[in-house]
Amino acid sequence: MPDFTICALCLNKAPLKESHIIPAFVFRWLRDTSATGHIRSAETPNKRVQDGLKVPLLCEECEQRLNVWEKPFSERVFHPWYEQSGQSIKYGDWLLKFCVSLSWRVLRHIRDFNGLAHLSDPQKMLSETALKRWTDFMLGRVPHPGPFEQHLIPLGAIDSHTFGEMPQNINRYMLRAVELDLAHSSSVVFTYSKIGPFGLFGIIQPTTMKWEGSKVHVKYGVLGPGKYLLPTELFEYIKDRARNYGNIQAGMSERQFDKIDATSMGDIDRFRASGTFAAMHHDVRLFGDASVLRQSKRKHTD
């Protein structure tokens, strides 16, 4: 377990803040653009929550250090892309710092609280090396993250596909989901941060898998439309995450589903203007009305 008297980044002994693993602005966006004005966590889908996961992690100085990189990402990338996907967005050296800080938080949290028992011993050693390199980069001790690259992918709606079986909630997942993971196989390990319309992959065990157009550069670059070449295995992973996301939502009680329906229909204008409705609409266009009906209602309409 972590030492709650020592800052996880600078290692100074200091009072620790309740630090967000996924930044707070993501959850404010999720709540503000939802159909109901409320959000639910994957761990407790039958309960409303006001915020995302927070743990005692950083001192006040390091919290502010991360905020310096979060603010431009929120204001210059995240919200503009949500408002108008497909635009070109220039970035500076703050973007790589933000991405590294997010991947670092995800890996640090999973290591400290859930362990790395699912990794091989060499992969555990690589994870520790990645944490150290990401720490040194954030603190200005090294000029770049080395082999532990960051790949940021702006996401949009899927209106057609040739990938065979596709989860019927794929657009709701791509456009709305917020989650974190440490993914692995025998030959690859990466952190995964899904923050609404963006997917961030922090590479821990580099592989021969081909990436093109997604690497975040040290000094400056452009996010937006263009050619993105991603490993086939990566999209299979995303499809699996979408299925898991759908299964969690489907596990809500009938009472909670009824509450959501009542809240949504109680303010139909908000519902129709929401990001929730827009994502549902894309899934309906792709799969039909049945894709957004909950299971109990499907049985009565079959």
Amino acid 302: pLDDT: 26
For 11: left if phi > 0, alpha if psi spans -120 to 50, otherwise beta; the answer is left
Helix axes of 94-109 and 121-138: crossing angle, nearest 10 degrees: 140
Q: Which residues contact 68 (CB under 8 A, 6 or more apart)?
A: 94
**β-bridge mates for residue 153, sequence order:** 199
Predicted local distance difference test score (pLDDT) of residue 63:
97
* pLDDT of res. 297: 44
Please say if the pLDDT value at position 300 is more than 70: no
Percent of the chain residues topping a pLDDT of 70: 88
Q: Tell me the pLDDT tens digit for each residue of 181-203.
A: 999 988 899 999 999 999 999 99
Check if the beta carbon of residue 225 is closer than 8 Å to that of residue 152.
no
259-277 confidence digits (pLDDT tens): 666 766 777 888 888 999 9
**What's the CA gap between 226 and 234, in Å, rounded?**
18
pLDDT of residue 301: 27
CA-nearest of 190, 181, 223, 211 to 72 is: 223
Q: Can you tell me the distance from the alpha carbon of 171 to that of 40, in angstroms, rounded to the nearest whole number?
A: 18
pLDDT digits (tens, 9 = 90+) for 209-261: 778 889 999 999 999 877 787 877 888 899 999 999 888 877 666 776 666 66
Centre a 10 Å sphere on the Cβ of residue 114 and count the other Cβ atoms it contains: 10
Give the separation between CA 97 and CA 68, rounded to whole angstroms: 9
Question: pLDDT of 144-174, one tens digit each?
Answer: 999 999 999 998 888 877 666 889 999 999 9
Dihedrals φ, ψ of 191, to 5°? -85, 150
pLDDT average, residue stretch 101-116? 94
- Specify the length of the chain in residues: 302
Q: Give the tokens for residue 298.
A: 């499907």
Share of the chain above pLDDT 90, in %: 60
Mean of per-residue pLDDT scores for the chain? 87
Q: Using DSSP, state whether 31 is helix, strand or coil.
A: helix
In the three-class reduction of DSSP (H, G, I as helix; E, B as strand; rest coil), residue 295 is classed as helix
Q: What is the DSSP string of 216-253?
A: PPSS-EEESSS--B--HHHHHHHHHHHHHHHHHHHTS-
> What is the reported pLDDT for 192?
97
Average pLDDT, integer, range 25-54: 79
CA 84 → CA 38, 80, 218, 292, 302, distances in Å? 23, 6, 25, 25, 38
Token pair recorded at residue 217 = 């550069």
Least confident of 11-20, 120-129, 266-275: 266-275
- Does the pTM surpass 0.75? The reply is yes
pLDDT at 76: 96
